[in-house]
Chains A and B, each alone.
Chain A
Amino acid sequence: MGQDLIVAVTSAPTPAGLVPAAGARLLALVVAVALVAAAFVLAGAGGGTAGRELAFSLLLGGAFGVTLQRSRFCFYCITRDFIERRETEGLVAILVALAAGTLGYLALLGAMLPVPTGRLPPGAHIGPLSVALVAGAALFGVGMTVSGSCISAHFYRLGEGHWPSLLALLGAAVGFVLGFLTWNPLYLGLIQAAPVVWLPQHLGYGGTALVQLALLGGLATVVWRAGQRARVAAPAIARATTSALPPPGLWTLLSTRRWPPVAAGLIVGFIGVLAYLRVAPLGVTAELGSLARTGVAAAGWLPDRLQGLDSFAGCATVVKAALLSNNGVFVLGLVGGAFAAALNAGAFRVARAGAGKLARQFAGGVLMGWGGMTALGCTVGTLLSGISAGAASGWVFGAVCVLAIWLSLAIARRGWGVGRAD
């Protein structure tokens, strides 16, 4: 793999030498205008609430895409950078996003369900705690390592010109189908009787806020200290990134520099809260899974009934009845937003890839598809939206994912060639 490829997909900041061509900036503007125009059309044509939700989803997807691209919010790359190089910026961004999401969700939930007993908040991604969740998260973690990104990052990297991500997404669709095929026995054996733990039911909203913020703060401290030790051990590397360049202008900061992790985390958390308030919790796999389900349902490959699946909130899939769904336009907006942001930053590169890399993209995608389907969501749907809502399932998914990445990388270091190319 060429050095440029590694640069293009790492979570490291955009090299200072990257200056976008004027044509790229113009195209970025065209894409941004097209997204906004499409939102106006959807709001008008859809009629009533449905149209407004579609328009809102598209714009929110665009904002999410820009944020992910500008801050390199790639769950896998961030975790790998920390494990291998003790780079802490990305992980801090995730922890800030989870803290902001938690506070925002709990404030909202307190208005929606003043007394958190009895029923669960509508649509929130609170899943059953089962061995299937652990297995799904583990394979999702391995799949991220094999294919080089989680599903949301594949979407934003697609916008950066990383077309091999298409194979990962195709693989994920295949993985979803495998997930449908194994769903009924897993549901009946493991999931149906598994407890659904929503922390506010046990701790109240205030207690949940305290516990989650303490956990996130503790994690941030551990991460920060580990990073600090690494920086002390190799001070030259740390200083190299803060060389004595003239201070950048505001536009340069916004459009070509990597967004500061705390700002990125706050924005991601805020987008998550807005999405839950207006449409549904953030997630990026519902549409992909629904397309896969609709396709194979038409071919007659699915079991007649996926037991209990449609009764779960999460990145659940449905057989598609309408062309446009909220999640579908959200994902389109995400790719469009990332495309515009990458063009504008001069970070758009048509990726090069050999057969081996393409095969890894696809294989990792299959693992993520199965894992995401079985765990009812991915790093966005189950981890981000789940933890924000106070779901124990989100914490389990996150912990198992990180463990799986760590193990996969340890294996990869022994020369299996996995997890390296990206």
Chain B
Amino acid sequence: MSLRRRLARIGLALAALLSAPALAQHADFLVSTDWLEKNLDNPKLKVIEVSVNPGLFERGHIRGASNFSWHTDLVDTVSRDIASPQQFQALLARAGVNDDSTVVLYGDNNNWFAAWGAWVFDIYGVPNVKLLDGGRKKWEAEGRPLSNRVQVHAPGNAKVKTANAALRARLGDVLAVARQEKQAVLVDIRSADEYQGKVFAPSGVQELAVRAGHVPGAVNVPWGKLVAEDGTFKSAEELKAIYQAVGVDGSKPVITYCRIGERSSHSWFALSKLLGYDVRNYDGSWTEYGNSVGAPIANPAGTVWGKT
């Protein structure tokens, strides 16, 4: 029996046991640190670290994991785009991902960049991709072992599919929603201060927009609300309630955004995978929208460009 089927069966069994269908989503798209440690030797399992801090993976990573650098591997830095199909195909091969592999992604910074990775995997149609719930932080906090020897994998045979445009929002899509020409709900997952326009970006960040504030009509649900103290995702019921409170109930398509699209991948993952809503991630995010000529913004803090 393939691992995939076995996992699906475990998921179904759990769902039946607790008669909570939402939990099945958690089981389908998240693995626990405990489960991962016990299954590390399964050849069908491919673990990939996507961290933003250089040197973390090299000094110690989950044994057998491959390293995808968010800065260079998963993005096309010159054209400001996600990795090209050829680039991503080469990455998959390097990480030894096969057609029948189960991929577990994890990373630092509460899995922000690992979630970006999950989004790119989804865009290119790679099945059976899960996040390590709690990410690197939880793995380390639990004192689980790290290795610093890089394993070179036999090239994998998984093939990328045509990019699925339905998972990605473009500036035009967001503008149409802002102008109420299209039905969708925007979720701004940045901090309240960024949303209000009190600050342009968190301190120390160089990539900025010339205006502060948010897309008109967007609701503010900072990403941190979605996770427990240990970084694991809250239950589907809790997530549902958090979004319900701001009017996001899955009845309309959702668009998530942040500053450059990486934190919003984390919320995209929760909404799309754990709650099963129709969600696009807007990776242009505020650095594109806030800089765009003629794009309307909301700025409750009153710091609109030109008046500061």
Contact = CB atoms under 8 A, between A and B. Distances in A.
Interface of A: 48-49, 108, 111-114, 119, 121-123, 277-278, 280, 321
Contacts of B237: none
A111 B140 contact: no
Contacts, number: 30
Given A48-B140, A48-B141, A114 B59 contact: no
A113 B150 contact: yes
Contacts of B148: 108, 111-112, 277
Contact of A121 (B58, B69, B72, B204): B58
Contacts of B152: 114
A112 B58 contact: yes
A111 to B, nearest CB: 5
B69 A119 contact: yes
B141 A123 contact: no
Nearest to B149: A111
A277 B55 CA distance: 10
Given A112-B58, A112-B148, A278-B59, A49 B69 contact: no
B54 interface: yes
B150 A277 contact: no
Of the listed residues B58, B149, B204, the one surrounded by the most CB atoms of chain A closer than 10 A to its CB is B58
A145 B58 CA distance: 39
B54 A111 contact: no
A48 B149 CA distance: 22
28 contacts: A48-B140, A48-B141, A49-B140, A108-B148, A111-B148, A111-B149, A112-B58, A112-B59, A112-B148, A112-B150, A113-B58, A113-B150, A114-B150, A114-B152, A119-B69, A119-B72, A121-B58, A122-B54, A122-B56, A122-B58, A122-B59, A123-B54, A123-B55, A277-B59, A277-B148, A278-B59, A280-B55, A321-B204
Interface string B110-145: 000000000000000000000000000000110000
Contacts of A122: 54-56, 58-59
A48 B56 CA distance: 14
Interface of B: 54-56, 58-59, 69, 72, 140-141, 148-150, 152, 204
A122 B150 CA distance: 14
A108 B148 CA distance: 9
Given A112-B150, A122-B54, A122-B55, 10 more contacts: A108-B148, A111-B148, A112-B58, A112-B148, A114-B150, A119-B69, A121-B58, A123-B55, A278-B59, A321-B204
A113 B152 CA distance: 10
A262 B257 CA distance: 58
B68 to A, nearest CB: 12
Label chain B's interface by main secondary structure: loop
Contacts of B149: 111
Contacts of B204: 321
Contacts of A321: 204
B47 to A, nearest CB: 17
Instruction: Rank and list the top 10 A-B pairs by shortest CB-CB distance, nearest first.
Output: A122-B55, A112-B58, A122-B54, A123-B55, A111-B149, A122-B58, A114-B150, A114-B152, A49-B140, A111-B148
Contacts of B55: 122-123, 280
A108 B152 CA distance: 16
B251 to A, nearest CB: 41
A127 B229 CA distance: 40
Contacts of B58: 112-113, 121-122
Contacts of A49: 140
Contacts of A119: 69, 72
A201 to B, nearest CB: 15
A107 to B, nearest CB: 11
Contacts of B59: 112, 122, 277-278
Contacts of A114: 150, 152
A71 to B, nearest CB: 28
Nearest to B152: A114
B150 A111 contact: yes
Contacts of B72: 119
A124 to B, nearest CB: 9
A122 B55 CA distance: 5
Contacts of A280: 55
Contacts of A123: 54-55
A316 to B, nearest CB: 13
A173 to B, nearest CB: 22
A111 B69 CA distance: 17
A262 to B, nearest CB: 28
Contacts of B69: 119
A45 to B, nearest CB: 16
B85 to A, nearest CB: 20
Of the listed residues B55, B56, B141, B148, the one surrounded by the most CB atoms of chain A closer than 10 A to its CB is B55
A131 B87 CA distance: 36
A349 to B, nearest CB: 40
A188 to B, nearest CB: 17
Contacts of A278: 59
Contacts of B54: 122-123
A152 B150 CA distance: 34
Contacts of B141: 48
A280 B59 CA distance: 10
A253 B148 CA distance: 37
A123 to B, nearest CB: 5
A270 to B, nearest CB: 17
A388 to B, nearest CB: 16
A119 B55 CA distance: 12
Of the listed residues A49, A123, A277, the one surrounded by the most CB atoms of chain B closer than 10 A to its CB is A49
A122 B61 CA distance: 14
A224 B140 CA distance: 49
Nearest to A122: B55
A113 B59 CA distance: 11
A121 B54 CA distance: 9
A111 B140 CA distance: 21
Nearest to B54: A122
A122 B108 CA distance: 15
A14 B59 CA distance: 40
A114 B66 CA distance: 12
Nearest to A52: B140
Nearest to B137: A48
A119 B67 CA distance: 12
A122 B53 CA distance: 9
A278 B148 CA distance: 10
Nearest to B136: A49
